[in-house]
Amino acid sequence: MGHDTRQLIEELREDHRNMALVLDVLEQTAASARSGEDPDFELIDEIMRYMTVYPDAVHHPKEDLVYGELIRNRPQLASDLEDVPADHRQIAELGSKLRDDVEAIIAGAAVRRESFVKDASDYVRRLREHMQWEETDLFKRVDEMIGKDDRAINIDEFQHIKDPVFELEIESVFERLTASLKNAGCGVK
Ligand SMILES: [Fe+2]
Ligand SMILES: [Fe+2]
């Protein structure tokens, strides 16, 4: 049990490492748009699809469950945790705004370049801040809970859902993202 609960928090950290790599790619596209170039909007569309099907749909709900266990089992370690679901919702909303920009641009609609650059930058900044808070504070509290009680998290509730880019490597759907990560020398085979 102890091994499995630690594995769970390690999965959350691994997700963060992967999301950080994807955010770097997204940030580069925003920087190229800011400097007047046309970024690869199909690539950005893939990035936002990835963000929807993995971080929003798997990573954040898993964290919500882990933090729920922390609130239940160790209320003295749970200050500010009630803000996390709203943070996750806000990140998903910023993501959906950005996805709407990109889909409209691909469909040929007139979306101002500045709107895209602002929405992409807001999304990258907000998600990075959130991940940093988790890594420097919340994950450490979860470590403390697990360290003192191997049964602190009931892992029966968790099902390991594989990451479509970093574990399943579904290149047919995430072709441009996979190629960008490979070019950047990142951990996709
Ligand atoms: Fe989170
Ligand atoms: Fe997270």
157: CA distance to ligand 2 center in Å? Answer: 18
16: CA distance to ligand 2 center in Å? Answer: 6
pLDDT of 73? 85
Burial of 49 (0-12, 13-18, 19+ CB in 10 A): middle
pLDDT of 16? 98
Assess if residue 83 is contained within a domain.
yes
Assess if residue 188 is contained within a domain.
no
Domain of 51, in residue numbers? 2-183
> How does residue 179 score in pLDDT terms, banded at 50, 70 and 90?
very high
Assess if residue 189 is contained within a domain.
no
What's the total number of domains in the chain? 1
Angle at 180 between CA 176 and CA 89, to 5 degrees: 75
Burial of 158 (0-12, 13-18, 19+ CB in 10 A): middle
Assess if residue 104 is contained within a domain.
yes
Assess if residue 113 is contained within a domain.
yes
pLDDT of 151 higher than 70: no
Query: Are the CB atoms for 86 and 64 separated by under 8 Å?
Result: no
Global pTM reads 0.91
For position 178, which CATH number holds? 1.20.120
- Show the tokens assigned to 81: 């945790």
Of the chain, the percentage scoring pLDDT greater than 90 comes to 67
Q: What's the average model confidence in pLDDT over 122-131? A: 98
36: CA distance to ligand 1 center in Å? Answer: 33
State how far the Cα of 119 lies from the Cα of 96, in Å rounded to an integer: 10
pLDDT of 2? 46
> Is the pLDDT higher at 138 or at 160?
138
Alpha-carbon Rg for the chain, nearest whole angstrom, is 18
Residue range 40-94, pLDDT digits in tens: 999 999 999 999 999 999 999 999 989 998 898 889 999 999 999 999 999 999 9
181: CA distance to ligand 1 center in Å? Answer: 23
Query: Are the CB atoms for 164 and 50 separated by under 8 Å?
Result: yes
Which ligand has an atom closest to residue 91 CA?
1
110: CA distance to ligand 2 center in Å? Answer: 34
